[in-house]
Amino acid sequence: MKDGGSIELRKVSDTLFEIPRSGGMRVAGRIYADEKLLSEIEGEGGLAQVRNVAHLPGIVGYSLAMPDVHWGYGFPIGGVAATDPEQGGVVSPGGVGYDINCGIRLCPTRLTVDEVRPRIDKLVARLFSNIPCGVGSEGAIPSVSKKELQAVMRLGARWAIEKGYGDPGQTKNIEDDGRIEGADPDAVSERAVERGLEQIGTLGSGNHFAEIDVVDRIFNPEVARSFGIEENQIAILIHTGSRGFGYQICDDYLRTLGRAMQKHGIQLPDRQLACAPVASEEGRAYLAAMACAANFAWANRQTIQHLAEKALIDGMGRSRGDIGLRLLYDVSHNVAKIEWHEVEGKLRRLCVHRKGATRAHLPRGQEGRWPHGQPVIIPGDMGTESYICVGTERSLGETFGSTCHGAGRVLSRTAARARFGKRDLVRELADGGITVMAKGRGTLAEEMTGAYKNVERVVDVMDRAGISRKVARLRPLGVIKG
């Protein structure tokens, strides 16, 4: 797993490094980072994975890594790769991850920090009781029928809105309108369905969370204004994905595509990179099932937004209009999608994998919705700030319209438990002005600030590289975790 310093790196610029093509690599690798982040990345296994991904049939441009890159299954987390189906390009479940359409949603409100701070403990307790979280938690909304779950798979966020969990206009503020085309429930196993029935409206555990944040800095007043973001404003941040439903689909298709590799004559350095041509029966089936899980995740985040809004209404004792919660944007950071991109002057239909990476720019032709660019939400870890950024046109040319997704782990969970496990973390965070409620005691230690890279440094690299610009910063006041 270690890179062992054996990987040759060439400096392209202050924010970009290259792994030159060698051996079976079809393209070079490129890593966005500064010297400090690079030193954290080296020796951790992620670079070897950037190199492995460069072996994928039909890969176009570069095997890319964002500055938050770290070791993942098959693909590194923070990895971006586009393949061309016309050139035998493949789709790989390892390029999406187990938690399909894990993503982040930001909901600004009309509330200000002065109104919320005196009631923060009460509000966090409300969130904690409204939103099921933690290991094995069940849905706050009743378990759905199998037929209903098929509607979730096809409709995504719209399913939740039709149930009354949100307003009809909100889907336009979700990547892909909260629904990936081509979802086919018949491509999903019975087992995945069973795992999904009770998990809509649940947060899960690990790094998933819901937060009450305050906007504490504005970097770009013009863009912030266009996003309706101002200083001292309160916003809700939700981070979760497709739960057991998505994990099962990933697992099912790792097996299916692993077997299909022989049939299609594909050999790769790591079994977790199992893949099949996008145009093959197996590749198409995976994309159809993956779309079901992506849509499930959007229904999930939409439902949780509704539960969070209810917590604010009850906790503040004010009307829905007074709270004024709206959806700024919802981005996916674990997904593979068919998108059009210009490569060497030609528009090509590509399968873009983003694993622990965020779409930074709308596909060509849809930019009109966001004249300043699409909002990009980049969460920090539990004790630190999150960022609202805006994608640039330059990202389209360099990273297939992608940027970083978060901080990226540096300490293993076990090491984090060993370092922080004995401390009174709830108290320490409270002293720093953050109220935390978590189901599992261990989760807090695993998710502490020191377990992650510095998110500001990660966001700054992408800002300096001109891929995504900082707009505003969010500071957590209250957090709930699994």
| Contact flag: residue 194 with another protein (CB under 8 A) | yes
| Contact flag: residue 128 with another protein (CB under 8 A) | no
Pick the catalytic residue from 55, 239, 372, 405.
405
With CB under 8 A as the contact rule, the residue among 10, 146, 255, 320 that binds another protein is: 255
As measured in angstroms, the least distance from the Cβ of 477 to another protein is 26
Can you tell me whether residue 339 is helix, strand or coil? strand
With CB under 8 A as the contact rule, the residue among 60, 77, 297, 462 that binds another protein is: 77
| Contact flag: residue 79 with another protein (CB under 8 A) | no
DSSP for 83-146, please give it.
E-GGGT-EE-GGGT-SSTT-EEEEEEEEEEHHHHGGGHHHHHHHHHHHS--STTPPPSSPPPPH
| Contact flag: residue 32 with another protein (CB under 8 A) | no
* Distance of alpha carbon 158 from alpha carbon 155, whole angstroms: 5
| Contact flag: residue 36 with another protein (CB under 8 A) | no
* Distance of alpha carbon 91 from alpha carbon 261, whole angstroms: 11
With CB under 8 A as the contact rule, the residue among 62, 159, 165, 247 that binds another protein is: 247
Q: Is 405 a catalytic residue?
A: yes
Q: Write the CA distances from 69 to 80, 330, 383, integer angstroms.
A: 10, 21, 20
- Find where tokens 């004024």 sit: 324
With CB under 8 A as the contact rule, the residue among 166, 206, 401, 476 that binds another protein is: 206
| Contact flag: residue 251 with another protein (CB under 8 A) | yes
How far does CA 41 lie from the centroid of its chain? 20
With CB under 8 A as the contact rule, the residue among 244, 375, 380, 383 that binds another protein is: 244
With CB under 8 A as the contact rule, the residue among 3, 40, 42, 99 that binds another protein is: 99
Instruction: Name beta bridge partners: 468.
Output: 391
| Contact flag: residue 95 with another protein (CB under 8 A) | no
Contacts to another protein from residues 329-368, by CB under 8 A:
none
| Contact flag: residue 129 with another protein (CB under 8 A) | no
| Contact flag: residue 209 with another protein (CB under 8 A) | no
Cα angle: 12, vertex 83, 20; to 5 degrees:
30
With CB under 8 A as the contact rule, the residue among 413, 419, 457, 464 that binds another protein is: 413
As measured in angstroms, the least distance from the Cβ of 412 to another protein is 5
Listed ranges 168-176, 190-198, 357-365, 454-462: which one lies at the site for another protein (CB under 8 A):
190-198
Alpha helices in 332-431 (DSSP H): 393-399, 413-420, 425-431
- Cβ contacts of 416-423, under 8 Å, gap ≥ 24: 416/445, 416/446, 416/447, 416/448, 416/450, 416/451, 417/442, 417/445, 417/446, 419/445, 419/448, 419/450, 420/444, 420/445, 420/448, 420/450, 420/451, 421/445
Residues with a catalytic annotation lie at 405
Given the rule CB under 8 A, which residues bind another protein?
A: 1, 44-45, 70-73, 77, 98-99, 134-136, 191, 194-195, 204-206, 244, 247, 250-251, 254-255, 258, 270-272, 274, 409-415, 440, 442, 482
